[in-house]
Structure formats: structure tokens, C-alpha cells
Amino acid sequence: MSQPINNEATNTPRPSRPGGGLRSSVAGYARTTKGVLFSSMFRYIVRRLIWGVLMLLVVSALTFVIFYLLPAGDPAAIRAGRYATPARIEQIRHQLGLDRPVYYQYWVYMKALVVHFDFGTSFKTNLPVRGEIFRRLPVTFSVAIGAVIIWVAIGIPVGIISAIKSRSWLDRVTMGGSLVAISAPVYWLGLIALFLFSKDVGVIKVFGGSGSYVPFFQDPAAWFSSLILPWFVLAAAFTAFYARMVRGNLIETMNEDFIRTARAKGLSERRVVFRHGLRAALTPVVTMAGLDIGTLLGGAVLTETVFNIPGIGRLAYDSIIGSDLPMIQGTVLLGAFFIISANLIVDVLYAFLDPRVRY
């Protein structure tokens, strides 16, 4: 489970510097008239875009340095096979450009990427990295979308009910259960799910098992059947985390003055909770969901590994184990791209969702 590490994000003080990186607040901008408002918002977005591109550059450079200075294996030797002569390995090293200095290799890589949108070719398969990544992107997208729907559809209502019935036995049971879900390793849950429900080896043979993924357009029913277990397993910890977060936010919101005002003017409790309380309580949840979706689109490594789903996460895992540098670079950049984009989108959305933030 990689996400709940982020769970301090909702109460972390945000840097208010303009263009201030991830999750920076957009508060503090000029409160001005409409025309100026639009242009200042536009400038803000441009500034964030430039910073985002810069970050991608730094991430790519760091990835390069990490994987060249600390090689897990010699890519040339791996490529050459087990019985290659040293001369053959040297020849391959030259072919791959690995005998050139790091900065030169980086320059060549970035030039191809910027000019031709070319991510290079895999050291292992000799196929273009771009093609491989785009081929697997729909797979990872399939995994993410179902999990997101499950955790939003279950996590938020459970959180709301727990908050309204705070300190009841129902609240205690669901919050206790959610902590168990957060504490369980996702790949272990995956194995248990396969053990219980997979078609091939499960106790109750209902859903597709490990390695049963088929693309949606090939066979939607089989696609659904193969993903139902990964969706629930991946969503388990997120559902629990969101339920706890919604509960905490809503309880805190319900103690605020404007809720007392709403009650004092005679609104029904239902209206107070759903029209006034939830609006404030769910804003940080939307932020968090955006960031989590961004991270997931970069590949759910553990879930894809345990269910043997050929997505980006599985690709990244195989590339790192096989020292396939261009493929590693491609997947890391893709992951960083989604994380940075999600941050940008969330920060801009925040301004629309939170009436206190104005440009």
C-alpha cells in the first residue's frame, strides 16, 4: 500500500509561495475584479505548467543518475546472453551507447524525447518503449478506474454514516474494520482473494484468477470477471482510508460555527449535514482522490504483480528486475507525469470548489 503515507496531506500546512510545487495553496492571490481575476488565474496555471515541466526534467535526470551510477546489473551483459565473449559485450555496450558519459547519454535521450516524443528502445526486447507503454496504459487504467469507483462508492457513504452515528457500535465496528483493511498488505489480500474466489484454484470458483486479464474490447464480460478481484483488493485500503478521512473531516466540520448557524435557523438535520456539512468536509477528499488517482495511473505495482496483470506497474517491475534502463526511465517518467498533472489539476480545481480561495 503506497498511498496512506500521504495521509498527513490534509492537515499539513501548505506552502503559500506562488507556483510552490506540489499541493501548494492557491490562497493569497490578488482578490481583484473579474478581468484581472481571469488573467491572474491564467498566469498561475502557466507558472504551474512551467514548474511541472521543470520537475519532469529533474525527475528524468535523477532517474538517469540513479540507474547509471547504481546499476543493478550490466545491461550490455544481460543483452548479450549467458555465453557472450567480453568482446561481444563491449560491442553491445557501444551499440547501446553505454560507453558514452552519463550526461551525453542523457542529452541523446532527452533530445529524442523532446523532438520526436521517442522514449528509446528496450534493451531487452528491442521494441520501442513508447509503444509498450501505450499498449499497457489501458490495462492500468482499467485497474485504476474500477478501484476508484469502489472506494468512492463505499468509502464516502461509510464515512458519513460513521460520522453521523459517531461513537455508536456501528461507528466503532466500521472504523475498527477499516484500520484492519489499512494494515493488511495488498498482495496478501490478493492471495487470499485468489485462494477463495479465483476460477482456476479458488475454493469458490467464480472470478478470473491470476493472469486472466483480457482487453475490454475483446471480451467485456471476461474483462470484468478478471478485474473484479484486483479492484476490490486494491480498493480495500483506499476505501478504509477514505471512510476514516470523511468521518474525521465531517465530525470536525459539524463543530464549526456555520453549522450551528444553519441549525439555529431551523434547518432539518438532514439538510444541515448534506448541504452544509458535506460540502466543506468533502473538499479535501476530492483533493486527495485526485492525487491518489494520479499515483495509481502510474501503475499499481503490487496489485498488478500479484494478479499478474500486464499493466504499467508490472512493466516497471519487470524492467527494474531486468535492468532495462530505457523502460525504467519511461515508466518512472510516466508515473511522475501523472503525479505532477494530478497535483496541477487538483490545485486548480480547489479554487473552484473552495469559495474561500479566490484569484
Footprint of another protein (CB under 8 A) = 1-2, 4-8, 12-15, 17, 20-22, 55-56, 58-59, 62-63, 66-67, 69-73, 179-180, 182-185, 187-188, 191-192, 194-195, 201-202, 295, 298-299, 301-302, 305-306, 316-317, 320-321, 328, 331-332, 335-336, 339-340, 343
CA count, 13 A, side-chain hemisphere, 199: 13
- The torsion defined by the Cα of 227, 229, 232 and 235, in degrees rounded to 10, comes to -60
H helix runs in 255-277, sequence order: 257-264, 269-271
Q: Give min distance, CB of 187 to another protein, in A.
A: 5
Query: Which residues is 198 bridged to in the sheet?
Result: 207
Q: Give min distance, CB of 157 to another protein, in A.
A: 22
Q: Give min distance, CB of 66 to another protein, in A.
A: 6
**Can you tell me the distance from the alpha carbon of 221 to that of 244, in angstroms, rounded to the nearest whole number?**
33
Residue 151 or 223 having the CB closest to another protein? 151
Residue 3 or 225 having the CB closest to another protein? 3
Q: Give min distance, CB of 33 to another protein, in A.
A: 31
DSSP string across 76-111: HHHHH-TT--HHHHHHHHHHTTTTS-HHHHHHHHHH
Residue 29 or 307 having the CB closest to another protein? 307
Residue 101 burial (CB count, 10 A)? 9
SS3 22: coil
Residue 98 or 306 having the CB closest to another protein? 306
Give long-range contacts, CB 8 A cutoff, 24+ apart: 27-33: 27/356, 27/357, 29/358, 29/359, 30/359, 31/358, 32/359
Residue 114 or 201 having the CB closest to another protein? 201
**Can you tell me the distance from the alpha carbon of 21 to that of 226, in angstroms, rounded to the nearest whole number?**
38
Q: Give min distance, CB of 99 to another protein, in A.
A: 20
Residue 73 or 220 having the CB closest to another protein? 73
Q: Give min distance, CB of 64 to another protein, in A.
A: 11
